[in-house]
């Protein structure tokens, strides 16, 4: 494979954009080498500017669950564009997407559309604070909830990749309202809540932690969060920006049978356009302006193109058999990758929740941030590079999840397994 054009473009971009990119992990710093510049994408495949093609397991970091450039999504978008790209006034499309979200998430009684996952979590926390009249929040080490000040504390994802869990530029006075505890550690949460509940507005959690790979909740962990928060009048927020419509159509809350007070969504519900959403109990959502006093607004919120891409994506996903197919393919991939690792004698742990997964280069079970950090990032980097040159696009960091789509075929999986065997062997 040649990367001549990508290399040239990265030099150009690096003079113009910090690190040559508009979002940090894209720059390949965690794995070394040069990021690949993309020209187009179709189905399960990405095509770069040098003419190489890849089977894609990044899927724009999750949103492209029906595959890239799905003909139905593209056709609907073309039609929508003709009607105008933004009005700053309500449209029927917002009702349609809201109805789809509410019917898939019984815990959501009212929803507000925003433009990113970051906005969704930031606004949900503001709603929780407004509702409870309390200031502090509890989050879990390694959970990423977007880059709002106060949430960039032990935040996984890019932050873990770069080893700067606490970003400069976040005032200590913000961070001090954020209490962090280890994921899967009920005792730690209980201790904090029993001591300080009067000042705690909410507990925010990724029910499956996708921003340090793919860490599953231990049986009882989410149930206990639900019990504790209910007992002390604390708002329980599930950040399902990644897991929503991905772990199951109804998200992790459907998969694990827990009803949070507020839910944050993003990624899949935008179908590849910029969207986020937060919603939940009526009495909390009624706090949001103009119904209530908690201010939150957006020039482009509910954008007609973004709503259209989201609606079309959810339509495809909600068709009979679509989820069974997605989860079936994901299970086949799991089996193929585990088998490749075993045959190659690679020491790895593989985890999967629905259609998201992670292969950790470690022999120890990964249950939280500390155990995730034991993974061998050098081995991952060499695996990543070999996979890429074999035409398989993985996220360029050990601490990111991989994603499956409806467009991935059995042949894609076979090709991936062959590349994985070769790559595991060389690590
Ligand atoms: C991606 C992500 C976010 C942030 O969403 P953006 O659209 O990148 O702002 C928040 N929470 C979780 C769980 C995510 O995976």
State if residue 123 touches ligand 1 by the CB under 6 angstroms criterion: no
Prediction pTM value: 0.96
CA 8–ligand 1 middle distance (angstroms): 30
**pLDDT (0 to 100) of residue 164:** 44
Report which ligand 1 atom has the smallest distance to the Cα of 274: 7
State if residue 213 touches ligand 1 by the CB under 6 angstroms criterion: no
Burial class (CB in 10 A: 0-12, 13-18, 19+), 38: middle
CA 213–ligand 1 middle distance (angstroms): 14
Report which ligand 1 atom has the smallest distance to the Cα of 243: 13
**pLDDT (0 to 100) of residue 59:** 98
Round to whole Å and give the CA distance between 206 and 183: 9
Strand partners, 262: 237, 280
Contact 117, 241 (CB under 8 A): yes
For the chain, domains (ranges, CATH) are: 4-69+321-426 (3.90.1150.10), 71-317 (3.40.640.10)
Closest of 356, 327, 338 to residue 207, by C-alpha: 356
**pLDDT (0 to 100) of residue 11:** 97
Round to whole Å and give the CA distance between 44 and 32: 25
User: How many residues in the chain?
Assistant: 427
Round to whole Å and give the CA distance between 341 and 49: 31
Burial class (CB in 10 A: 0-12, 13-18, 19+), 57: buried
CA 241–ligand 1 middle distance (angstroms): 6
Strand partners, 288: 294
State if residue 263 touches ligand 1 by the CB under 6 angstroms criterion: no
Round to whole Å and give the CA distance between 408 and 387: 17
Return averaged pLDDT per consecutive 10 residues of the chain, 427 residues in all. 96 97 93 95 98 98 98 98 98 98 98 98 98 96 91 64 62 84 96 96 98 97 98 98 97 98 98 98 98 97 98 97 97 98 98 98 97 96 97 97 98 98 96
Which residues fall within 8 angstroms of residue 143, CB to CB, at 6 or more apart?
155, 156, 183, 204, 205, 206, 209, 211, 239
**pLDDT (0 to 100) of residue 249:** 97
Q: Which residues of 340-371 are buried (b: 16+ CB within 10 A; e: fewer)?
A: bbeebebebbbbbbbbbbbbbbbeeebbbbeb
Closest of 32, 88, 49, 83 to residue 398, by C-alpha: 32
Active site residues: 144, 239, 267
Angle at 67 between CA 63 and CA 69, to 5 degrees: 95
Sheet holding 200-205, edge to edge: 110-114, 276-280, 262-265, 235-239, 200-205, 136-140, 178-181
**pLDDT (0 to 100) of residue 163:** 41
């Amino acid at each position: 494979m040649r990367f001549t054009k990508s290399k040239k473009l990265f030099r150009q971009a690096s003079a113009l954009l910090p690190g040559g990119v508009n979002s940090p992990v894209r720059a390949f710093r965690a794995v070394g080498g040069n990021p690949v510049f993309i020209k187009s994408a179709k189905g399960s495949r990405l095509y770069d500017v040098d003419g190489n093609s890849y089977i894609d397991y990044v899927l724009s970091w999750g949103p492209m669950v029906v595959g890239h450039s799905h003909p139905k999504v593209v056709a609907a978008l073309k039609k929508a564009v003709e009607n105008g790209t933004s009005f700053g006034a309500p449209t029927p499309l917002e009702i349609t997407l809201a109805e789809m979200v509410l019917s898939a998430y019984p815990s959501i009684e009212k929803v507000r559309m925003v433009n990113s996952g970051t906005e969704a979590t930031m606004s949900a926390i503001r709603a929780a604070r407004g509702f409870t009249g309390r200031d502090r929040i509890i989050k879990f080490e390694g959970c990423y909830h977007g880059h709002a000040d106060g949430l960039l504390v032990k935040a996984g994802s890019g932050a873990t990749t770069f080893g700067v869990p606490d970003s400069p530029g976040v005032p200590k006075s913000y961070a001090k309202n954020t209490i962090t505890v280890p994921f899967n550690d009920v005792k730690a949460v209980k201790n904090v809540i029993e001591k300080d509940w009067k000042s705690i507005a909410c507990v925010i959690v990724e029910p499956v932690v996708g921003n340090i790979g793919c860490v599953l909740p231990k049986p009882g962990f989410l149930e206990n969060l639900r019990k504790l928060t209910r007992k002390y009048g604390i708002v329980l927020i599930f950040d399902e920006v990644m897991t929503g419509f991905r772990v199951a159509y109804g998200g992790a809350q459907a998969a694990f049978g827990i009803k949070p007070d507020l839910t944050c969504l993003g990624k899949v519900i935008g179908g590849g356009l910029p969207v986020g959403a937060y919603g939940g109990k009526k009495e909390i959502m009624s706090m949001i302006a103009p119904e209530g006093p908690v201010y939150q607004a957006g020039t482009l919120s509910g954008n007609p193109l973004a709503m259209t891409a989201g609606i079309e994506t959810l339509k495809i996903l909600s068709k009979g058999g679509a989820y069974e197919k997605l989860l079936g393919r994901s299970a086949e991939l799991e089996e193929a990758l585990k088998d490749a690792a075993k045959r190659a004698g690679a020491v790895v742990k593989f985890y999967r929740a629905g259609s998201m997964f992670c292969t950790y280069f470690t022999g120890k079970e990964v249950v939280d941030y500390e155990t995730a950090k034991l993974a061998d990032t050098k081995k991952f980097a060499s695996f990543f590079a070999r996979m890429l040159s074999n035409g398989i696009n993985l996220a360029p960091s050990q601490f990111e999840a991989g994603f499956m789509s409806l467009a991935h075929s059995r042949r894609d999986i076979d090709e991936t397994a062959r590349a994985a065997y070769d790559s595991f062997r060389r690590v």
